[in-house]
Amino acid sequence: MENKINDEPIIETFYGKISPVDIAVLYSLMVKRISKGYSSSEMSFLMGYENDVIGNIEQLNFKELTILELYSYTNALEDDALSGIILNDMGKEHDPADYQIVKTTERILMHYEVFEILPDNTSRQLFHLFEVNPEHDRLKYNTSYSMGIETATEILNTLLGGVLFQSPESPLDIFKRCRRISTSIRPYYVQVALNNISQSKEYPKFKRIKTKKYGCLYEKAF
């Protein structure tokens, strides 16, 4: 989030004991997400999560990353399977090691510095990634974001008036539908619009369904 009181950066430190393979995979996934221009919450939404699960993973709050999760992630990015993901141990032992992520949130940018904690308690930096602070983006381009949400809302309401959504659909599929109509649509716009329409007292509207296998799905409610 953006510090609205002053321009002092917000520094958060996260620790985790995971395998060298998983830290390499995490690096690959973060690079893919950031290069796509999606925030962690947008990725979580497209994957069907109710909360920012990807943000938690990027805080080393996980035990291991499964192949199914990787396919779900790359599918949400509309990427080529596991292409570009580092799946080897880079010559290290497979045993879990201690890692630290220092996340610095500045007014415009967010930094992720990842360190391996060595047996003598010293640290070795593995990578340093940057991305635009999404909260700053939303404030700077507030009019554009408002128009984007309005456009997504109009598209979804129009689609609801037709014969679509008689059966549950994933957030990713709904986002793709909206993007076919407006190529400037962001996942965030659809996420906010879906949430607003789901809470509307008017019908037809969206009903969110929680499933174990597919996460959150949406269908038309009459």
Q: What is the DSSP string of 127-151?
A: EEEEEE-HHHHHHHTHHHHHHHHHH
Q: Answer whether 10-136 and 141-221 agree in fold.
A: no
Sequence spans of domains, the chain: 10-136, 141-221
The pLDDT, as a whole number, for residue 149 is 96
Band of the pLDDT at 163, cuts 50, 70, 90?
A: confident
Q: Rounded mean pLDDT of 145-165?
A: 93
- Dihedral sign (CA 44, 132, 126, 85): positive
pLDDT of residue 156 exceeding 50, the answer is: yes
Whether domain 10-136 has CATH 1.10.260.40: yes
| pLDDT surpassing 80 at residue 33 | yes
Tell me the pLDDT of the chain averaged across its residues. Answer: 90
Does domain 141-221 sit in CATH 3.20.20.70? no
